[in-house]
Amino acid sequence: MIVVGDEVQTAIKAQQAVVALESTIFSTLGLPSPANAEALQMCLSAVRQSGAVPALTAVLDGVIWAGVPEELYERVLNATAKVAARDLAIASSQKMASGATTVSASVLIAHQVGIDVFATGGIGGVHRESQITGDISADLDAIAQYPITVVSAGAKAFLDLPRTLEYLETQSVPVVGWRTNDFPAFYTRDSGLQISHRVEDAKGAARLHRDRKGLGQGGVLLVVPIPLEAELDSSRIDQAIEMSLAEVQLRGLAGPAVTPRVLAAVEKATEGESVAANLALAEHNASIAGQIAVELANP
């Protein structure tokens, strides 16, 4: 069962701007404490300052939330399990105590309750050596399936980015740059990969969303480069990723266990700078998502 928070429910009924947010990034599975709590407040504030209402998603005591009440934020911050789209019914039926939603789960929830825009840090994608492991994030299929505009700083930098873009093309998901034709790589503004389409402002993104939804098609991936002042050195990031992926392979880790391991390695290699970068890009994405939601609410 999906429960819509009072503020979010009121906004949806009044056809006001709403932005869905995942909760993995706000748990310690996404960011270390207390940075996770800081990220939550920054993103909530960014959405509100843009004129929209934030709808934090999570699973608490088996309840699937779209708009977690403030008094339950602490439980989201302390969630120790990830919940993807495939896990939602299980988490609900088995009364999971606290589950942090991934992109795929949040996109599904947003669609079910009538929210058109979703903001995250970076989406999952095609993992390196996927031709052997078959490891492809459910995020990609969820974006393809549900008519949601997903605002992110590209895909997580340790993924196979060329294959991720190819998979999205195969699934008919347009990848659109926010004032850029360069596909960002989370911590850096340019992965070296080009994308064909771009929008210059929230009005353009809202028009694209309406036209695609009107055709009965799925979602849009809007990629936003990390703010220039927060960008990290690509060579330093690449070295940390390569070392951590070697450890992942040695330990035989796969699926959801990979991301926390790699993020921890990058944090250590950058002496915490990656956490600050993550905060900056998440806040920036939330702000832009809010602007798009406002345009959609005021055609």
Instruction: List residues with catalytic annotation.
Output: 22, 156
Angle (deg, nearest 10), helices 273-297 and 258-269: 120
**Ordered DSSP codes for 106-139:** HHHHHHHHT--EEE-S-B--BPTTHHHH--B-HH
Locate all alpha helices (DSSP H) within the chain, ordered by sequence.
6-13, 35-49, 73-77, 88-93, 103-113, 130-133, 138-145, 161-170, 202-214, 234-251, 258-269, 273-297
Query: Residue 252, class by beta-carbon neighbours within 10 Å (0-12 exposed, 13-18 middle, 19+ buried)?
Result: exposed
CA distance 292 to 205: 7
